[in-house]
Amino acid sequence: NPKKTDDLHEQHQRLLVDNDSYLVAIRKKKEHLASLDTKMKAMQTKLLQRKKEMGGRICTLKRPLHQRKHIRIMEDRVNQATKSFDKLLCKNQALRDEIDHLRRQRCSFALMYQRLSRELQSQHNVMEDLVEKSVLAYDQRSEALARMLAVRERRKKDRSFCHTEMTELKRVIDHEFKLRSFMVKKSKESVPMGEDEDAKKRRTEQAQCERMGGESLETYQAVHRLLVEVSGDSDLRQIGRTFNKQYDQQWQGQLKELERELEQRRGLANNLESQYTVVLKFLDQHKTAIAHLFDKMKCNSAPITGKLGCSAQVTDDNVTQFIGILEEEIHRLLIILSQCSYKEAEEMELPPQNPLLVSYSLLPAVTPSATEAPSFDDSTTETLLGLGSEQPLDFQTLRERVLPWVMHTEQGKVPKAPSTPLRGKKKVGFNPKSA
């Protein structure tokens, strides 16, 4: 960072200037002290010379008035020193009382700090839970929307196909019904058994002439021979009965096949309706969860309610808007969480953690590891700090206390092979019970 480098350079220049000024002041003080030492030595030599001239202590003893005055002066000095010592003792007692009061305040503040730290940690845990739930809800919402779109497309295709099949089947059924009614009508119009052969022949010929448009007898004979060759029977009534029987059998088989297909289509339609009901229930649950999460995170619903025709309820039309507001709020909370973790990491001198990897534990390949707090005996504490000491532990002391326990624990562990990471997204099947 160039700005930080410039600040450090300016601070270094100021420190160099201060160092030079301090060196000059120290040199001057040393010179002054040397001059004072020379003066003191000169004065001491003068005093010794003066004492020698006056005769020393013997001369002083010879002057009792001067001696008594000197004694009074010394007693006065002792009295003044005693008073100053008593004042220092009183001041020391007041300082001791103030130190005890500050120590008690430090204990109370430490308890308050621990309580606030626990509350902050609980808030962080709540934020992490909310982030995990929101990410999981977003993923489930995406999967549910994809399934819903797929089910809708499949339902449209199946419905159109069923309508087409039903129309075709109705047309075939109507055609077969008309054909069958025509055959029944023609069979009822056949000649009775009690009439004579001539009347029957004339009526059959007349009916055939009316039906065939008055064709020649040779044509009828050729058709009759062809029918006899194909069926192997010369009786026309027997041929008609055989034809009607075969036609009825074919018609019944087709009806049974159509009924089976209709049952299959009906079962498929019921299955699709049940899946559609499950999907609707799943979406309703997610809407309720989104509304609960929206209220719990205390998001602002003004951008949604301010629009014309919009309400504060989560519906199919505005669910994407609610999810967008939740994503913005989660993004803001993630930024705040990253800033807090970065500040805590700077204070604790630890590498900062990435808050975006909070939901990494939701992956099935990752197994959560059980955390175990390090334990150490009180003898180590008394050895490091002394018995009855209230000094707070710094990072280096805590590291010295915890490191032997961690090394002992790591030596007892068996190394495991690293798990292969999953590539791509895991395909999750739709389970109505889980929904």
Distance CA 360, CA 317 (A): 32
| Residue 200 to residue 206: CA distance in whole angstroms | 10
Q: Using an 8 Å Cβ cutoff, are 134 and 293 in contact? A: yes
Measured CA to CA, the distance from residue 118 to residue 122 in angstroms comes to: 6
Q: Quick: pLDDT tens for 108-142.
A: 999 999 999 899 998 888 888 888 888 888 888 88
Residues 223 and 219: their CA atoms lie apart, in Å, by 6
pLDDT band at 194 (very low <50, low <70, confident <90, very high): very low
- DSSP character for 417? P
Q: Is the pLDDT of residue 333 over 80?
A: yes
> Does pLDDT of 422 surpass 60?
no
Classify the C-alpha dihedral 209-211-214-216 as positive or negative: negative
* Strand, helix or coil for residue 371: coil
Q: How many whole angstroms separate alpha carbon 137 and alpha carbon 289? A: 8
Model pTM score: 0.30
Tens digit of pLDDT for each residue in 274-317? Answer: 888 888 888 888 888 888 888 888 887 777 776 655 667 788 77
- Range 206-213 average pLDDT: 56
User: Is the model's pLDDT at 435 over the cut of 70?
Assistant: no
Highest mean pLDDT among 176-190, 208-222, 245-259, 413-427: 245-259
Percent of the chain past pLDDT 70, that is, above it, reads 69
Average pLDDT along the chain: 75
- What pLDDT score was predicted for residue 187? 64
- Whether 73 has a pLDDT exceeding 70, the answer reads yes
For the ranges 20-29, 86-95, 389-398, which has the lowest average pLDDT?
Answer: 389-398
The band of 207, judged by pLDDT with boundaries at 50, 70 and 90, is: low
Between CA 317 and CA 310 the distance in angstroms is 9
CA atoms within 13 A on the CB side of 207: 11
Residue 104: predicted pLDDT: 92
Q: Would you state the pLDDT for residue 414?
A: 41
Residue 99 pLDDT > 80:
yes
Render pLDDT for 352-411 as a digit per residue (tens, 0 to 9).
666 555 555 555 554 545 555 555 555 555 555 554 445 566 667 767 777 777 777 666
Q: What is the pLDDT of residues 142-170, one digit of tens each?
A: 888 888 888 888 888 888 888 888 888 88
pLDDT at 58: 56
- Residues contacting 285, CB < 8 A, separation 6+: 435
Is residue 290 within 8 Å of 137, Cβ to Cβ?
Answer: yes
Compare 28 and 294 and report the one with higher pLDDT.
Answer: 28
Instruction: Kindly tell me if the per-residue pLDDT of 202 is higher than 80.
Output: no
> How long, in residues, is the chain?
435
